[in-house]
Amino acid sequence: MALDPKARDVTINYDGGYCNMTRGLAEFMFGTDFAPLAVAPTPETVSVKAHSRVRVIGQPSTSVAAHTYTYDKYPTSTSELAEGGQPVMVNIGEDSDWTVRVGGPLYAFVDFLDQKVKLDAVFVTSQRGTKYGPVGVNQN
């Protein structure tokens, strides 16, 4: 039994959230090259308080001085057994509704679509029935 590669799920992270859809829908909306969808990391600074550490139980403790360090934080999505996010309907043409799971605020997803989608007009309907759109290249 062969699997259709276009039917596999793909998760796209963006500033403020993530969306999960089939690869075929993602290629239709954004093109086959997903490189322009990449999000630059944001620097995250962590402060560590001074504390003592015991390496082996029963041995004397050593002091660790207070310090800070910085790392690059990339957007992430949830990783659970249950699917995360809320299902929304994305309309990309006449009689063409697709379900996309969106994590994070819906306005961030609509902003992401408005900036990155390669179609003329995309409409989004939330789980509660709120309609967004049209968004797309000719709407900017």
Token duo for residue 18: 């993530």
* pLDDT tens column, 7-53: 888 889 988 889 999 999 999 888 888 888 888 888 999 999 999 99
Q: Whats the size of the chain, residue-wise?
A: 140
Are 29 and 119 in contact by the 8 Å Cβ rule? The answer is yes
Spatial contact of 126 and 108, defined as CB atoms under 8 Å apart: no
pTM: 0.74
User: DSSP state, 15?
Assistant: T
Does the CA dihedral 25-28-30-31 come out positive or negative?
positive
Q: How many CA atoms lie within 13 A of 69 on its CB side?
A: 7
